């Protein structure tokens, strides 16, 4: 298997193995670490078009701002109002940091779907089409769509969705090969993903179930997609992008492989991740000085890192002792002390 560079509009992704947008995970700290470890492109976390267009940029500051340069990067937005989505897209374009605009039409989370956005748009293809068309007319940046093969078995099928996205003017589509109602359950439907690829002229990136290089290779081999999007498989394991880029067909576990990512490398990456989270929170507090601050930037970073640590330490002996202490570790020094103890046990 060979994944070739992917191009749509003005964007070229040399290694089209990209980091998926994940709320609570893919802030600038994780995005830049993944880029440095081989990711071909990254997406921001899910950002509300309503918030971006109405609150004077507060959502923009909190969710999307990065202290570090990062390219290629997509500004990833959601909403159910074509005008608001277009306004949000224009704000992202005017900022100048984004290479393209991505529209979320597949998030199955209840608080998004209940607003008629995300995966709910799969039940209203005319509205989804109007959103894509409106955004496309409003910006000069390329526009892509992240979606699923359908909402459930009673709504529009994958081919109808695919045709509508292309006809509405999208430059690229990323497809999670599961129904929205199934969230992350069950195997991705690579046959339907292949059907969408065969139907479309625009590039298709496949998403869902890629936890190892072999998973990514199989997705491309079976479906013929132009690239692969990695989500949960990259949490605590940014090395996966480089492994895929190098074309390694060596099977690996769903966790970082100790012999390939030595303990010291894993430890140092955790330290760097924490350092960037602190810097990110310092930046946010500087940008919104009037907001009441319950936590210092360091404390906020330690809380945010709790969702990442279990993935970084998968497969390590006696990791439970560290995980049980997480709630009480509110400084970088305290977390790294416990990590060093764990690493020493696993030498």
> Do residues 132 and 143 make contact, with C-beta atoms less than 8 angstroms apart?
yes
Range list for CATH 3.20.20.70 in the chain: 6-245
Phi, psi dihedral angles at 324 (to 5 degrees)? -70, -20
For 74, 192, 233, 291, 317, the CA distances from 13, given in Å and listed in that order, are 12, 24, 20, 38, 38
Query: Given this model, what pLDDT does residue 218 score?
Result: 96
Could you confirm whether 107 is annotated as catalytic? Answer: yes
- Other C-beta atoms lying within 10 Å of the C-beta of residue 233: 24
Annotated active-site residue in 105, 107, 252, 302: 107
Which of these CATH numbers, 3.30.70.980, 3.20.20.70, 3.50.50.60, 3.40.50.11240, describes 6-245?
3.20.20.70
- pLDDT of the residue at 272: 97
- The burial of 187, by beta-carbon neighbours within 10 Å (0-12 exposed, 13-18 middle, 19 or more buried), is given as exposed
Question: The tokens 């990062």 sit on which residue?
Answer: 70
What tokens were used for 218?
């199989």
Q: Strand ranges (DSSP E) for 39-85?
A: 42-43, 47-48, 73-78
What is the rounded distance in angstroms from the CA atom of residue 80 to the CA atom of residue 264? 46
Digit-by-digit pLDDT tens for the chain (347 residues) are 568 899 999 999 999 999 999 999 999 999 999 999 999 999 999 999 998 887 655 666 555 667 888 999 999 999 999 999 999 999 999 888 899 999 999 999 999 999 999 999 999 999 999 999 999 999 999 999 999 999 999 999 999 999 999 999 999 999 999 999 999 999 999 999 999 999 999 999 999 999 999 999 999 999 999 999 999 999 999 999 999 988 844 444 445 444 435 789 999 999 999 999 999 999 888 877 666 678 999 999 999 999 999 999 999 999 999 999 999 999 999 999 999 999 999 98
How buried is residue 133: exposed, middle or buried, by Cβ count under 10 Å (0-12/13-18/19+)?
middle
Contact between residue 178 and residue 219 where contact means Cβ atoms under 8 Å apart: no
Instruction: At 13, list the tokens.
Output: 């992704």
SS (H, E, C) 216-253: HHHHHHHHCCCEEEECHHHCCCCHHHHHHHCCCCCCCC
Place of tokens 């790294």: 336
Element (H, E) at 206: strand 204-207
């Amino acid at each position: 298997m060979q994944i070739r560079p992917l191009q749509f509009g003005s964007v070229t992704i040399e290694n089209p193995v990209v980091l998926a947008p994940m709320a609570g995970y893919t802030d600038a700290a994780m995005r830049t670490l993944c880029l440095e470890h081989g990711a071909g492109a990254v997406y921001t976390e899910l950002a509300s078009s309503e918030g971006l267009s109405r609150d004077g940029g507060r959502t923009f500051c909190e969710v999307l701002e990065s202290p570090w340069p990062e390219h290629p990067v997509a500004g990833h937005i959601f909403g159910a109002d074509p005008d608001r989505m277009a306004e949000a897209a224009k704000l992202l374009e005017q900022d100048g940091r984004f290479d393209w605009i991505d529209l979320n039409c597949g998030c199955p989370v209840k608080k998004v779907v209940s607003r008629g956005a995300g995966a709910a748009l799969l039940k209203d293809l005319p509205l989804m089409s109007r959103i894509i068309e409106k955004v496309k007319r409003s910006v000069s940046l390329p526009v892509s769509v992240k979606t699923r093969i359908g909402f459930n078995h009673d709504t529009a099928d994958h081919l109808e969705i695919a045709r509508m996205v292309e006809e509405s003017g999208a430059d690229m589509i990323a497809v999670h090969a599961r129904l929205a109602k199934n969230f992350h359950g069950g195997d991705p439907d690579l046959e339907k993903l292949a059907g969408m690829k065969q139907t479309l002229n625009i590039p298709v990136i496949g998403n869902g179930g890629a936890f190892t290089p072999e998973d990514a290779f199989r997705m491309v081999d079976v479906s013929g997609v132009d690239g692969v999007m990695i989500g949960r498989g990259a949490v605590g394991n940014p090395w996966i992008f480089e492994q895929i880029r190098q074309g390694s067909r060596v099977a690996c576990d769903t966790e970082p492989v100790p012999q390939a990512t030595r303990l010291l490398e894993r430890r140092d990456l955790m330290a760097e991740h924490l350092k960037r989270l602190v810097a990110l929170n310092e930046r946010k507090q500087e940008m919104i000085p009037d907001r009441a601050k319950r936590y210092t930037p360091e404390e906020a970073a330690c809380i945010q890192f709790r969702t990442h640590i279990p993935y970084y330490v998968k497969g390590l002996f006696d990791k439970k002792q560290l995980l049980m202490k997480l709630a009480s570790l509110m400084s970088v020094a305290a977390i790294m002390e416990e990590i060093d103890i764990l690493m020493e046990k696993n030498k």
